[in-house]
Structure 1
Amino acid sequence: MPFPRSTLIAIVAATAGALAVRMAAARGGLWLDEAWSAVFARDAATAISALRIGHDNNHVLNTWWLQLVGWPASPIAMRGLSILSGTAAVPLAALIAGRKGPLAAALAAWLFALSPALVTYGSEARGYAPMLLALLAAILMIGQSLDAPDKPPPVVGIAIALALGTLAQLTMLFALPALIGWVLWAGRSRQPLRTTARLLGPGLIAASLSATAVLAGGMTIGSYQPFTIAAWADGLGELARYTLAIGWPPKGWLLALTAAGSFALVVARAEDHRAALTALAVLAFPVAVAALGIGNSGLPRYYLIAAAVLLLAIAEAPRTVALPLSIVILGGSVIGDLDLVRNLRADPREAVTAMANARPQGATYAVEASRDAAVIEVAAAQARYPIRLVEAPCPAADFLFVARDGDAPFPDSPARCGIVYAPFAGARTTGLSGNHWQLYLRAR
């Protein structure tokens, strides 16, 4: 539907705001998972080799992008695919919600522009932002086809979206059952199986082929945590906090309120086939993860499809619900985004800056965990600072870099080869991504 001029201005402004805040949040150094991705892309060298990396941190479209911009590009360049994808998602969300009117379109645009969860994943060198963009494209095309069943279905466009989304990030596969259930529900009065096969069949085949290409080289899991209810609830609560930017209730209460509110939105829109998508993606999907006992369920990013669909449902809710709730979310989002821009995921480039200030001609460094070497390697390459990793316990390096997750403490004065290291610089991350780090200087 054509939008009034005021709505178009709101959408354009939200898109510009989305680009600005994502670029501002992308200025810091690459943290652990991003740094791994950059090293994988450099070492793979070719696009075909990228398919053979065989690691869960290989998000193929992102790897190809990193190969395109080259090693070592600037942080913003390396994160460019996610920045562009997160920005493009804003007008796409407006088009999806616009079926409910101009207000819904404008609210969806601003929610997608500023939600701290989407800003976080839309400003780091990983595959989640392009995956969400592909998912939104599929939702738009599927919804338009369900609203106009007599028109030829856009099966090619849907297939491309599902294929690219799966290449971007394999969590796209989590969305497929929700999309299938949505189409089945919408077509329940007119040959639902035939409708679903016709609309989604080619797309499901395309997504399967993409997944096969990604998994053909094997799949090593960088970090695996067995399923626990506590971790599952914590991950969902963390994502709810950063999606809705509501910080006052404890995560458990916020998760319960989010689930109850989502259920209320589904009931209120029961006559609309889009309610089935909300029910399946926001409510049934996390429950299925718990029922199946899937590992790493405490990672908030695994539930991003639920976050995106929830924001669409909020924008499409009745005005008396959508407007005040969106105002609250957007107010909190501004605060959350400012924190992300200020913290920059505990900007690890500051560790290299500290090294360069103390040892201008270059330095050696050691890491407590081998995985952390990629963070310093990328940051040093971007800064053109000569540095060498000392992998053996001895001789002692000039610096020791230690990273931590959560509340794990740092050592006070670690020793290597009988030499004590003293704290020299450090930072703590405050958002969904990044690691706390501490840099130690070798005592003289």
Structure 2
Amino acid sequence: MAEILPFQKPSSTSQEGDLEDSALRYELDYPSIILIVLGIILRVPGLFGDLWLDEIWGLEAARSIHSPLDFITGQLDGHLTLYTVYLWIVSGSDNPIVLRLLSFIFGCGLLFILALLIPASRRVERYTLLFLVAVSYPFILYSSEARGYSGMLFFGALSLLLLERQKMEVSEKEAILFFISNSLAFLFHLSYVQFFGALLLYGAVLAVGRLSSTKEQWSFLYRLFGPIILFLIGAYIVVLRLMPQGTGTLVSYPETIIDAIAVTIGAPLLSEHALAAGTLTLAASLAAIVLLVVEVARQKSLGLYRWIFFCSALFIMPAAVVFLLEPRILHPRYFLMSMLTSYMVYACLVSDLQDTARQKFLSIVGLGLLFLFGQASYLVPFFGHGKGEYSSALRRMSSEIPQDQTGLVSSDHDFRTGKVFRYYQDQLQIKNLSYTPSSEDQDELPAYFIVHSEDRHFDPPQRLSLGHGKLFVLRDSYESGSLAGFRWFVYSLLQEGRSGH
């Protein structure tokens, strides 16, 4: 019997050689190459521009490491990932291209993996998936961030590829490759646990559906997944249980999940300053979920094995992680593997509509253009401002203070703004500015006060009153892309009260 592929009906009775050759061909064709090149081009601008808080934080964690043993014994404040190892190797550089290069490579590599994931006979599905990922803002963003998300996505997709190519009799080489791929995905970011859980359930369904004896089923699962589970148990006992929890803005789970869906489909992020846009986002998110459910149900009705993987990666495992682990901080980026899975489902949906109804397909093309427009609303600010314009802000403030004086600078968030300020003050060798924490008693008012915001819809006040009857007036605004970076609004003390020493 021919090997039944995951995207085929398990009831297939095709004899050896009956399957179309094209169904087994996975080579790249010209449209796939064009879409991959498009994705690579869109990822290049993110290599440039200022580092933002999380990248600086990770770089400082890497620079605090004095020996490889510190990766096991040191508590790196949540930065214990393989990307920290890379940053440790290149820690002598402050060049953002060098620091982000590994993420860029993995981000581009992901496109190649996705092209190979879908056989040549399913061209529409392949092209749709490549298009969605190539122009998707979150995937472009994290392909140019000096952190581990891009590596997790690459090795996660590779693990799915290996599982779907896996024969029922697992060889030692295949087991080792699968172990390495999954382990590296975990080591790049622990949020991979959701996707791994979906792969485990998917593997169990494949084993039960294709192997007749219980012994064969357990042998298949043990050889593929057993070593990874043992590795995770050991890593948790030795290192992971000692890691402190992540930090960030406390946001409700529903709001975070809606934002994750919104950025996936190109809808606006939720904002208390844009209620009308929020209504649109809620409606679009609901529609997106309905489409996912419809396609997963269709896959199940056709008897395709992938439905259980889609259902697990999209709904079951994310819900289990949220409600069982109850993380203190939840970010949309923790659902990147689910975002990738949703694009796979949408690609299947488009492929089905293209095959069954031309009018429906044309409507999907319209939705594709709407998707592109939505992603452009994220990409344009990101290409223009990167992850923030902090160095420009410091240069501007420094230029207004005499070199023989020191202008004090404070902010509304000492950790976020202070860490970024000190990093660029040191990098730019600025001597005439000094950051003073707003939480400390100050004998004199600062010359500048920085208000930060992650909200693109936040409209800063023109004046601030910080005590002593003195007013600060808005001088400059510095923008950033969404989900990574902060907008800075620089206020200066009115001239009559301006201080320096």
**TM-score band w.r.t. shorter chain:** 0.7 to 0.9
Q: Aligned equivalents of 2:450 and 2:475: distance in 1?
A: 10
Q: Give me the whole-angstrom Cα distance separating, in 2, the residues matched to 1:370 and 1:52.
A: 29
Match of 2:199 in 1: 179
1:279-319 per-position Cα deviation (integer Å, ceiling 9, x unaligned): 00112233334543723565211211110111122223452
In the alignment, is the contact (CA less than 8 A) between 1:236 and 1:255 conserved in 2?
A: no
Other structure's SS at 1:188 match: helix
| One-letter identity of the residue aligned with 1:295 | P
The amino acid that maps onto 2:116 is L
Report the counterpart of residue 437 of structure 1 in structure 2.
488
Partner of 2:274: none
Q: Among 307, 315, 322, which residue is 2:339 paired with?
A: 307
- With 216-225 and 278-287 compared, the bigger mean Cα shift is at 216-225
Amino acid at match of 2:293: F
Counterpart of 2:393, as a letter, is A
Count of paired positions: 436
Q: What corresponds to 2:318 in structure 1?
A: 286
Could you say if the C-alpha distance between residues 151 and 286 of structure 1 is closer, same or farther in structure 2, counting changes exceeding 3 Å? closer
- Of 328, 334, 340, which aligns to 2:382? 340
Task: Work out the CA distance in 2 between the residues paired with 1:353 and 1:269.
Answer: 56
Counterpart-to-counterpart distance in 2, 1:246 and 1:156 = 41
Query: TM-score under structure 1 normalisation?
Result: 0.86
Deviation at 1:217, TM superposition (A): 4.4
Letter of the aligned partner of 1:80 in structure 2?
A: L
**Identity across matched positions, percent:** 18
Question: Higher mean Cα deviation, 363-372 or 232-241?
Answer: 363-372
CA contact (8 A) 2:198 2:309 kept: yes
**CA distance 1:286–1:259, change in 2 (3 Å):** farther
For 1:377 and 1:334, how far apart are their aligned partners in 2?
33
> Normalized against structure 2, the TM-score is what?
0.77
Match of residue 415 from structure 1: 466
Is 1:97–1:315's contact at 8 Å kept on the other side of the alignment?
no
Letter in 1 for 2:318: P
Per the TM alignment, residue 181 of structure 1 is displaced from its structure 2 partner at its CA by: 0.9
Paired residue for 1:274, among 287, 293, 306? Answer: 306
Q: Which has the higher relative contact order, 1 or 2, with Cα contacts under 8 A spaced 6 or more apart? A: 1
Matched, 1:200 2:225: yes
Task: Please identify, of 27-36 and 49-58, the stretch whose mean Cα deviation from structure 2 is larger.
Answer: 49-58
Alignment correspondent of 1:295: 327
Q: Which amino acid aligns with 1:69?
A: V
- Write the distance in 1 (CA, Å) between the matches of 2:37 and 2:74: 36
1:166 maps onto 2:186 in alignment: yes
Equivalent runs, 1:111-260 vs 2, <5 Å: 111-145=132-166, 148-150=167-169, 152=171, 154-189=174-209, 190=211, 191=214, 192-212=217-237, 214-215=239-240, 217-223=242-248, 225=250, 231-246=252-267, 250-260=280-290
Rg (Cα) greater in structure: 2
Any gaps of 5 or more consecutive residues in structure 2?
Answer: 1-23, 269-276, 355-360
Superposed CA offset, 1:312-341 (max 9, x none): 222234524476368333454345323321
Residue 378 of structure 1 is aligned with which of 406, 417, 423? 423
| Residue of structure 1 aligned with 2:102, choices 73, 81, 98 | 81
Contact kept in structure 2, 1:402 and 1:439, CA below 8 Å: yes
In 2, Cα distance between the equivalents of 1:290 and 1:205? Answer: 23
Q: What RMSD over aligned residues (CA atoms) do the two structures have, in Å? A: 3.1
Say whether the 8 Å CA contact 2:107–2:139 is kept in structure 1.
Answer: yes
**1:171 CA drift (Å):** 0.7
SS at match of 2:57: helix
Question: What is the aligned counterpart of 1:36 among 42, 47, 57?
Answer: 57
Change (3 A) 1:193 1:263: farther
1:346–1:51 Cα change, 3 Å: same
> In 2 relative to 1, CA 269–11 (structure 1 residues): closer, same or farther, beyond 3 Å?
same
